[in-house]
Amino acid sequence: MKLEEAAKYAADLLLSLPKKSMVRVISHIDADGIAAASIIAIALERAGYRYHISIKRTKPDLIDELKNEENELIIFSDIGSGYLRQMEELKSNIIVLEHHLSYDEPPSNVMYVNARLHGIDGSRAACGASVAYSFAMAIDEANVDLSQLAVVGMIGDKQYFEDYNKKVLEEGIAAGYIEEREEYLFEGKTLKDALENSIEPYFTEMENSNNFLETNGFVPTKKFEELDDEERKKFLSVITLKLLEQGCKDIEWKRKVLYGKYYGNLYEVSSRLNACARLHEAGTGIAYCMGDKRAGERAFILQEKYRDEIRKEMRELEKIKPDEREKYIYFHTDKPPLAGVLAGLALSYLPSFKKGKPVIALSYNEHLDVSARANYEMVNNGINLGEAMKCAAEKVGGNGGGHPVAAGASVPRNMEEKFLEELDKCL
Ligand SMILES: [Mn+2]
């Protein structure tokens, strides 16, 4: 059976409910989860249903929290695969729209729609928002405009436009809701802004870029698109050289960007939803996706705030000499939610972190939180951070796991040194 057919069964279950029924929606707290919830909310509203959405993180008591509620139908999106067995304890009918791995069979009250059950690679070619889109399209094909939000989810989960995702993108383009444009990374920005505020790529020693720009013969306040061909070439070669000095390679200045008819640059939308999730304002993200103008302004402010925080931490990391072990480099941060992002950016753009070894960020929460980042070159040389995190964490009574290039662990606070020793052995 194809994903679209499974989605049709789910849509039929919904449509068997009388109009104006209340549908409970639970989705995951990240850009993909917010995009998925928004797709479902818009589709429900158009079909004449009421809804109540909660955006949640994965946690052991997720299902318990729903036990006191009376729901006729609950829809889980981008979350739920880990709770299938517990869902039996809920009295209501349940639809799960998912792309994450599951180890359990769904109980009889659950209609389980997972891209992975239909031959689609759920880590690359279908995200929560893609599956939510298949559900929305099964309700009504007029929902094809929601392909814009599905693409936002794909970008948020760093997926590829392959297989099912490709199909969704192509549907959106064919219907005139999505457009692909080639553009330079710094379009619309002043040169000063481009150097000082960019995070990917991140330029070191650019708290103030006036000196750098003027020495190279540029006017800092000039906009990138105001440069003539000659100047633009020179500017791009000067900053390419700057990044080469930082130890980076493979820099693409011109790239394909996807624009949505209602939302503009879909990469920016995804970045705003990510900021909404990280700064605990998922509701703002949903209202933004649903077209609320004030929520859109707020999402923009949150995106700036989140980026400011990252830049501030990166400026600090530029100044430190990270600690080094035989197999990895590490540093401490007092910003647990940013740890993974910072480790990744340090690995890519800070010369002092470039030793050909993975970068590990340590932060103290209730436990010692560990975030690890590697690159594909290291993975090709045999590094697997997911396994190493699991191995080292379990040796000291914690738990860990993840992907070869990005992983994390949580260990008892008093076990830091022991964990670091074990990690050297596990890598
Ligand atoms: Mn997802």
Please report, for residues 149, 155, 182, 269, 372, the alpha-carbon distance to residue 178 in angstroms, rounded to integers and kept in the order given.
Answer: 10, 14, 13, 13, 35
DSSP, collapsed to helix, strand or coil, labels residue 401 as strand
pLDDT value of position 163 = 98
Phi/psi at 198 (5° precision) = -65, 140
Answer CATH for 186-251 from 2.120.10, 3.20.20, 3.30.70, 1.10.8: 1.10.8
What residues does CATH 3.90.1640.30 cover in the chain? 3-180
Q: Give CA angle at 154 (38, 336), nearest 5°.
A: 85
Output the pLDDT for position 249: 79
Over residues 184-207, mean pLDDT: 95
- Sorting pLDDT into bands at 50, 70 and 90, what band is 326? very high
Residue 402 has pLDDT above 90, yes or no: no
> pLDDT tens digits for 120-138?
999 899 999 999 999 999 9
pLDDT at 376: 87
Assign 337 a pLDDT band (cuts: 50, 70, 90).
Answer: confident
CATH 1.10.8 residue window(s) in the chain:
186-251
Give the architecture-level CATH label for domain 320-426.
Roll (3.10)
Ligand 1 centroid to Cα of residue 210, in Å, is: 41
Neighbours of 365 (CB within 10 A): 11
pLDDT at 103: 84
| Residue 181 near residue 158 (C-beta atoms within 8 A) | no
- Please tell me the distance between residue 325's alpha carbon and the centre of ligand 1 in angstroms: 34
* Residue 339 and residue 333 in contact, taking contact as beta carbons nearer than 8 Å: yes
83-115 confidence digits (pLDDT tens): 999 999 998 999 999 999 888 999 999 999 999
Residues of the chain within CATH 3.10.310.40 domain(s) are 320-426
Q: What is the DSSP string of 69-122?
A: S--SEEEEES--GGGTTGGGGS-SEEEEEE-S---S---TTEEEEEGGGGT--T
**Structure confidence at residue 331 (pLDDT):** 97
List the CATH code of the domain at 3-180: 3.90.1640.30
State in Å: Cα 161 to ligand 1 middle.
15
CA of 35 to the centre of ligand 1 (A): 9
411 Cα to the center of ligand 1, angstroms: 25
In 3D, which of 163, 160, 152 has the Cα closest to residue 37? Answer: 152
Q: Which long-range contacts (CB under 8 A, 24 or more apart) does 110-117 make?
A: 110/84, 111/9, 111/10, 111/13, 112/84, 113/3, 113/6, 113/7, 113/9, 113/10, 114/81, 115/3, 115/164, 117/6
What is the CA angle 301-127-23, rounded to 5?
A: 80
- Cα(231)–Cα(241) distance, integer angstroms: 15
User: How far is 187 from 309, CA to CA, in rounded Å?
Assistant: 23
* pLDDT surpassing 90 at residue 251: no
Residue 59: predicted pLDDT: 84
pLDDT in tens, 371-391: 999 998 999 999 999 999 999
C-alpha 426 – ligand 1 centre gap (Å): 29
Query: Which of 149, 105, 144 minimizes the C-alpha distance to 129?
Result: 149
* 58 CA from centroid of ligand 1 (Å): 12
Distance 327 CA to ligand 1 centre (A): 31
For the full predicted model, state whether its pTM sits above 0.85.
yes
CA of 34 to the centre of ligand 1 (A): 9
* pLDDT at residue 278 tops 80: yes
Q: Report which residue type is found at 103.
A: Y
Strand order in the sheet with 368-373: 323-324, 329-332, 359-364, 368-373, 406-411, 399-402
Q: What's the CA-to-centroid distance between 32 and ligand 1, angstroms?
A: 5
Q: How far, in Å, from the CA of 127 to the mean position of ligand 1?
A: 5
Distance 130 CA to ligand 1 centre (A): 9
CA of 18 relative to ligand 1 center, distance in Å: 30
Residue 217 dihedral angles phi and psi, to the nearest 5°: 85, 25
Distance from Cα 212 to the centre of ligand 1, integer Å: 41
pLDDT at 215: 97
Distance 70 CA to ligand 1 centre (A): 27
CA–CA dist 375, 396 (Å, integer) = 26
Query: pLDDT digit string (tens) for 2-47?
Result: 999 999 999 999 999 999 999 999 999 999 999 999 999 999 999 9
Cβ 153 vs Cβ 56: under 8 Å? no
pLDDT on residue 23: 98
Interval between CA 376 and ligand 1 midpoint (Å): 22
Q: For residue 250, is pLDDT > 80?
A: no
Q: How far is the CA of 324 from the centre of ligand 1 (A)?
A: 34
Q: Tell me, in angstroms, the distance from the centre of ligand 1 to residue 419's CA.
A: 30
CA of 273 to the centre of ligand 1 (A): 13
Q: Provide the pLDDT confidence category of residue 291 given band limits of 50, 70 and 90.
A: very high
Output the six-digit token pair for 284: 């703002």
pLDDT digits (tens, 9 = 90+) for 35-89: 999 999 999 999 999 999 999 988 888 999 999 999 999 999 999 999 999 999 9
**pLDDT mean across residues, the chain:** 95
CA of 55 to the centre of ligand 1 (A): 13
